Structure 1
Amino acid sequence: MLQFLSRPAVKLVERYLPDPYIFVLLLTFIAAVAAMLIEQRSPVEVMRYWGDGFWSLLTFSMQMLLVLVSGFMLANTPPVKKGLSRLAALAKSPGSAIILVTLVSLAASWINWGFGLVIGALFAKQLAKVVRVDYRLLIASAYSGFVIWHAGLSGSIPLTIATAGHFTEDTIGIVPTSETIFAFFNVAIVIALLIIMPLVNRAMMPFENESVYVDPALLEEKPTVVSDQPRPAERLENSPILAWVIGLFGIAWLVDHFVFRGGGLNLNVINFSFLFLAIVLHGTPRKLLDSLNEAIKGGAGIVIQFPFYAGIMAIMVQSGLAATLSEGFVSIATADSLPFWSFISAGIVNLFVPSGGGQWAVQAPVMIPAAQALGADLPRVAMAVAWGDAWTNMLQPFWALPVLAIAGLKAKDIMGFCLVQLLVTGVIISLGLTLL
């Protein structure tokens, strides 16, 4: 049945889904028109919202770019690649390759969303070297693990409300992760996805005559060329001494941060960890720089598109459109159904505001009073927003950009399969939020 559903979905998306850059331009237009029609804002007001907010996420954009780059460099180190190669050897058939890449991506994304995106794509490329499998579905399966990130250890909403001094502390206090990430309902959803998603992806495998394969030779990396008579500068570039000195200096800071100062994880610490582990494991500055040159190719979409999403977010927030959308769903909710409607509304808002932290800033002022007024389970409502944010990433091509850049594909190549993943995960998450 899933194979039957995926065939028209793949054809539909391949024909009509534009490039993610065109997608963000269309979303900008939709948000602007909606703000004028629904919120009665003037064109000048909307233009100002958009322009004033266009550069508001520069710090976050750079952090996202570094997640991609540093994660790629770490995953591209000899020890990590060797581990991926050994793991890929476990796949003996196309079906087992699909199941294996899905499990690895889900587990890695639960640990950290940035690492999950990168490691999933690189592992998929490694599998394509040893197993003849539809390359589009393989990459779509690697991306499907991203649906779990906001329920994991790097989930921005549960981590935000568990941190002292967060912007809603005066109304909800500190909500420990035992009530969100490690709550029974959330763990149950995660386990269900770990079991079901590999089987769903396996069931979507196209027939032999409809499959798209990749030549393994195209996936091989060019070796680093070392001159027989290196210049002094080249000796420095290929010297492990500099790499080890600065790399160990960074690792010493991490030990001090976690062990002696009791520091926690945030995006900057994660990027710092990835970068300095990559410096040490690559061994020489030249190998690190070669890896960087490969990694940076995947960042073009982030550089050009994230400012547009910042502008869209400004329109949604400043015009009141995001609050109106959330309030519309809340108005028909009860204490029991509020998590479900929070999940649906968050999924829609995520198409325009693809940022977990930014989305909570938009929806918290609506969802928190509604949960308190209805007597709903507040941690569950917060996690419903988190799941909604992660869920429609299967439809929102922005977060697929790093995966696509590593794989050498376009959004239309995988989004047909992602559409089926969206439908299946939507049912699982909805049931978990409302029945458990």
Structure 2
Amino acid sequence: MLAAAAKPFVNLVEKYLPDPFVFVLALTIVVMGAAVFMLQQPVTQVLEYWGGGFWSLLTFSMQMLLVLVSGHMLASTVIMKNALNTIARLAASPGKAIVLVTLVSMLASWLNWGFGLVVGALFAKAIALRIEVDYRLLVASAYSGFVVWHGGLAGSVPLTIATPGHFAEDLIGVVNTSDTLFSPLNMTLLAILFVIMPVVNRAMMPPEAERVYVEAKHLKEPEPPTPSGHISPAEKLERNSILALLAGLAGVAYLCLHFTKGGTLNLNIINFVFLFLAIILHGTPERLLHSMQQAIQGASGIVLQFPFYAGIMAIMVQSGLARELSQWLISAATADTLALYSFLSAGIVNMLIPSGGGQWAVQAPVVLPAALELGADVSKVSMAVAWGDAWTNLIQPFWALPVLAIAGLKARDIMGFCLVQLLITGIIISAVLMVL
């Protein structure tokens, strides 16, 4: 039944969903128009918001680019290929493949969102090399694990309000993670989704005649060129393993110092781990550079689209559009329904501000005073915003770009399945927020 229900969504998206770049261009015009006509902002002022914020995500864009490239380089090493293939052997059938990639992606995303994005996509490719399974659904299943990230150990909202000195401390104080990440509400949501998501993805598997496979030759990385004839001194250096080993060991030593001194696993550290393990495991600079050349080919979406999202975020925040939208969405809430309204509003705002931390900075001044005024549970409302942010990531091309680049697919290939995932997870999260 679910496979039949998913089919119209898949067909609709494949026919009518444009490239994510077209989507972000249209979104830019819509947000500009809303700021001008709804908030009566001067056109020149809106253009200044947009142009002034256009490059504000350069650091984050580079981080995401390195997530893609460094993760790809690590996965292309012989040791990592063998490790992924060993785990992939557990998928003895197409159905088991879907379930396994969903669980691995969810667990990795719960640990850290950047880790989950890369691991899920790479594991999907490893499975597709071993077994014939609908590749679109396999990659969509890998991406679906991302829905739990904001309820995981790297969740922006719960970690922010648990940090002394956060911007809303005067209003709500410091909220311990035992009341957010490890609360009965959050743990219940995680437990339900870890059971339901693999089942949903498995149930969406199309009939045999409608499945789309990918040939192994399109998934395998080209082998680096083998040396032949005379080797120049420069080429000898490029093929020298001592330089790579020394640099790699220096990176490992730094990581040991970082964690022994209480350092945490953030996006920079994940990239550091991926990069220096890749340096060590590739063995020579030549092999590493060959791998990088293969990895960088899919990075154009990040380079081109992220600045446009930064411009959209600048308009939303500086014009007050995000605040107005949030206030309107929760205006009818009561103490019992504020968490649900906050979740839904966060899901909508996330389509325009696809950044967990950035979205919290905009919505916290709206939802937190409302929670205090209505007598609602502040920690529950905060986690509702966190889950709303994670929820609509399922259909937000911003976050899908690294996964799609690694998998070699377009957004329209997976978004039909993602729409079904969005509807089902939305119902589940809404129900839990109302019951607990």
After TM superposition, is the score higher than 0.5?
Answer: yes
Equivalent-residue separation in structure 2 for 1:373 and 1:392 (angstroms): 28
The 1:244/1:415 distance shift into structure 2, 3 A limit, reads same
* Corresponding position of 1:104: 104
The 1:92/1:365 distance shift into structure 2, 3 A limit, reads same
* Corresponding position of 1:314: 314
Q: CA offsets, 1:290-334, max 9 Å, x none?
A: 222222222211111111111111111111111111111221111
SS in 2 for 1:56: coil
* Corresponding position of 2:354: 354
Residue 273 of structure 1 deviates from its aligned partner by: 2.4
Output the amino acid matched with 2:5.
L
* Corresponding position of 2:45: 45
Output the amino acid matched with 1:118.
V
Contact 2:251 2:276 survives alignment (8 Å): yes
Equivalent-residue separation in structure 1 for 2:350 and 2:62 (angstroms): 20
The 1:309/1:392 distance shift into structure 2, 3 A limit, reads same
Residue 165 of structure 1 deviates from its aligned partner by: 2.7
Contact 1:72 1:119 survives alignment (8 Å): no
Name structure 2 gaps, 5 residues minimum.
none
Q: Which range moves more in the overlay, 213-222 or 192-201? A: 213-222
* Corresponding position of 1:257: 258
Q: Which range moves more in the overlay, 295-304 or 347-356? A: 295-304
Residue 216 of structure 1 deviates from its aligned partner by: 1.6
Equivalent-residue separation in structure 1 for 2:182 and 2:241 (angstroms): 42
Contact 1:71 1:114 survives alignment (8 Å): no
SS in 2 for 1:221: coil
Equivalent-residue separation in structure 1 for 2:188 and 2:80 (angstroms): 30
Following superposition of structure 1 onto structure 2, how do residues 221-232 of structure 1 map, counting pairs within 5 Å?
Answer: 221-228=221-228, 229-232=230-233
Contact 1:68 1:114 survives alignment (8 Å): no
Equivalent-residue separation in structure 1 for 2:188 and 2:163 (angstroms): 24
Q: TM-score if structure 1 supplies the norm length?
A: 0.96
Contact 1:158 1:181 survives alignment (8 Å): yes
Output the amino acid matched with 2:246.
V
Q: CA offsets, 1:179-213, max 9 Å, x none?
A: 22221211111111111111101111111111111
* Corresponding position of 2:419: 419
* Corresponding position of 2:29: 29
* Corresponding position of 1:219: 219
Following superposition of structure 1 onto structure 2, how do residues 177-326 of structure 1 map, counting pairs within 5 Å?
Answer: 177-228=177-228, 229-259=230-260, 261-326=261-326
Equivalent-residue separation in structure 1 for 2:71 and 2:180 (angstroms): 26
Residue 131 of structure 1 deviates from its aligned partner by: 1.2
Residue 145 of structure 1 deviates from its aligned partner by: 0.8
Runs of at least 4 residues off by over 3 Å = none
Output the amino acid matched with 1:297.
Q
SS in 2 for 1:352: coil
Output the amino acid matched with 1:238.
R
Equivalent-residue separation in structure 2 for 1:47 and 1:234 (angstroms): 51
The 1:285/1:162 distance shift into structure 2, 3 A limit, reads farther
- Count the aligned residue pairs: 435
Please say if 1:73 is aligned against 2:53: no
Residue 167 of structure 1 deviates from its aligned partner by: 2.1
Output the amino acid matched with 1:278.
A
* Corresponding position of 2:366: 366
SS in 1 for 2:299: helix
The 1:160/1:290 distance shift into structure 2, 3 A limit, reads farther
- Percent sequence identity over aligned pairs: 65
Contact 2:221 2:294 survives alignment (8 Å): no
SS in 1 for 2:92: coil
Equivalent-residue separation in structure 2 for 1:51 and 1:341 (angstroms): 32
Contact 2:65 2:299 survives alignment (8 Å): yes
* Corresponding position of 2:139: 139
Equivalent-residue separation in structure 2 for 1:93 and 1:335 (angstroms): 48
Contact 2:144 2:418 survives alignment (8 Å): yes
SS in 2 for 1:399: helix
Q: CA offsets, 1:262-283, max 9 Å, x none?
A: 2233322222222222222222
Contact 1:120 1:143 survives alignment (8 Å): yes
Output the amino acid matched with 2:83.
G
Output the amino acid matched with 2:291.
S
Name structure 1 gaps, 5 residues minimum.
none
* Corresponding position of 1:405: 405
* Corresponding position of 2:336: 336
* Corresponding position of 2:433: 433
Q: What is the RMSD computed on CA atoms of the aligned residues? A: 1.5
Residue 7 of structure 1 deviates from its aligned partner by: 0.6
